[in-house]
Amino acid sequence: MSDLPPTPGQTVGPFFHDALPWTGDAALVPPGRADAVRLHGVVRDGAGDPVPDALVELWQAGQDGRVVQRPGSLHRDGHTFTGFGRCATDRAGSYSFTTVLPGAHAEGAAPFVSLTVFARGLLHRLLTRAYLPVGLGGTAEALAADPLLAGLDPGRRATLVCEVDDDGGGAGGQALRRDLVLQGPGETVWLTYPRLPHGG
């Protein structure tokens, strides 16, 4: 075990738009697919202003609730679903994914997608969830029983549940909205995952 102190965190960015996006990165499925759904929103800072140079990553289970283990995210072939996508925000701070509704990982569980946000000025990426709302993949019973949601105040809980967006332009009219607020009023609930022991 080394006696050296750990290297301090370095700010992530600001060159996401130059190096990380690729063709088809935000299209987990083709937009014209019958079961496609649009998941979109705006990344905002503590003042409520849009963040035009953030990067949002999406990780999700397939429609059967299983974690997808298929290669091909960086070279979309139009039919392989990999459960991973990446989207750089535009000048209005907006991001948008074309995907499918994830299934629940267990009977009665609340289905969700995991989102990761990179932005200039952050020392580490931010991690959160976007749960499916009642009426579009989610149920009131599953949302109420979810351990993470149940441990939050109702106002904070709402920052993790998507809204059905009838004007979102999703295939077949299916669209979800989840804005991501980095800090301040209405701040999204950000998750902390346990870190592995040094060298582990």
pLDDT higher than threshold 80 for residue 199 = no
Phi and psi at residue 199, in whole multiples of 5°?
Answer: 85, 0
- Give the per-residue SS3 of 50-105: ECCCCEEEEEEECCCCCECCCCCCCCCCCCCCCCEEEEECCCCCEEEEEECCCCCC
Q: What is the mean pLDDT of residues 162-180?
A: 82
190 burial type by CB count under 10 A (0-12 exposed, 13-18 middle, 19+ buried): middle
pLDDT digits (tens, 9 = 90+) for 26-40: 999 998 889 999 999
Mean pLDDT, range 118-147, rounded to an integer: 91
Domains of the chain: 16-181 (2.60.130.10)
What does the block give as tokens for 180?
Answer: 């991501």
Which of 165 and 129 is assigned the larger pLDDT? 129
The pLDDT, as a whole number, for residue 76 is 86
Question: Is the peptide bond prior to 8 cis by the omega test (within 30 degrees of 0)?
Answer: no
d(CA 37, CA 126): 24
Query: Looking at residue 14, what is its pLDDT?
Result: 64
Closest CA to 111 of 93, 137, 89: 137
- 120-135 exposure pattern, b = at least 16 Cβ within 10 A, e = fewer: eeeeeebebbbbbbee
Q: Taking the CA atoms of 114, 161, 137 and 166 in sequence, report the sign of the dihedral they define.
A: negative
Per-residue pLDDT, 7: 72
Q: Is the pLDDT of residue 127 over 70?
A: yes
Is residue 178 pLDDT above 90, yes or no?
yes
Q: Pull the structure tokens for residue 157.
A: 């809980």
Average pLDDT, the chain: 88
